[in-house]
Structure 1
Amino acid sequence: MSDKLIHINDEQFEAEVIKSDKPVLVDFWAPWCGPCRMVGSYLEDLAEELPNVKFVKVDIDENSANAAKYGVMSIPNLVLFKNGEIINRQVGALPKNELKALIENSLN
């Protein structure tokens, strides 16, 4: 697993996401979710390919507060933050190239 893909809990969310000095893609996921595991492997690759973006994973079973705060009803749920604000969201799995395009287009 990439060391650029960080697993965080609810207590770390503000420091790692809201106060981050670079854009953050948050992957709200759960271990029992097949599409989440597929997307997770794509995010490991993208964390290497897009060094200007921080990638974090939040297990919604163990950390439900921020999932509830940000309206996560279905997973995988990818939320892109910039300067502490949501700039894009993707619910459901996408192919890796489409995820990369979504991130890049959101930041340009």
Structure 2
Amino acid sequence: MTKFGELISVQKPVLIDFYTDWTPAENALETLRNVAAALGDKANVIKIDIKKNEALADSLHVKGNPTFMIYKNGEMKWRQTGVQDANTLIGLVLQYL
């Protein structure tokens, strides 16, 4: 995996979904696809598997599934644990353009 610092150190917003397969969120993948499609190249949308990236999840104190974060220029701007709908996520990311 690309180094996390490289992923978040960009000028456009980065929406990250920390997830695991063992707690399926209804339509989670479809929601992220809709967010990515709506935002186009204005933002990056990334899914990170908690089980495959335990050290990163631990360092960021990710305890719930899913946990969403928005970064811009390497700085965390927003964080929320729990299912979010596409329109909410799109609106949040647009605040950081």
Q: TM-score, normalised by structure 2?
A: 0.85
Q: Does 1:12 align with 2:22?
A: no
Structure of greater relative contact order (alpha carbons < 8 Å, 6+ residues apart) = 2
Shift of 1:31: 1.5
Q: CA RMSD in A?
A: 1.7
- Alignment match of 2:45 (pick from 28, 36, 55): 55
Question: Counterpart of 1:40 in structure 2: which amino acid?
Answer: L
- Are residue 85 (structure 1) and residue 75 (structure 2) matched? yes
Percent identity between the two aligned chains: 30
Q: In structure 2, list runs of 5 or more residues that go unmatched.
A: none
| 1:84 shift after superposition | 0.3
TM-score, length basis structure 1 = 0.78
4+ aligned runs moved over 6 Å, structure 1: none
Residues in 2 aligned to 1:50 and 1:43: alpha-carbon distance in whole angstroms: 10
Residue 33 of structure 2 corresponds to residue 44 of structure 1:
yes
Distance 2:80 2:28 in 1: 11
Per the TM alignment, residue 102 of structure 1 is displaced from its structure 2 partner at its CA by 2.3
State the Cα deviation string for residues 25-71 of structure 1 (Å, max 9, x = none).
11100122211x62222111111110211011110001111111111
- Cα distance between partner residues in 2 of 1:71 and 1:15: 19
**Aligned equivalents of 2:44, 2:71: Cα separation in 1:** 10
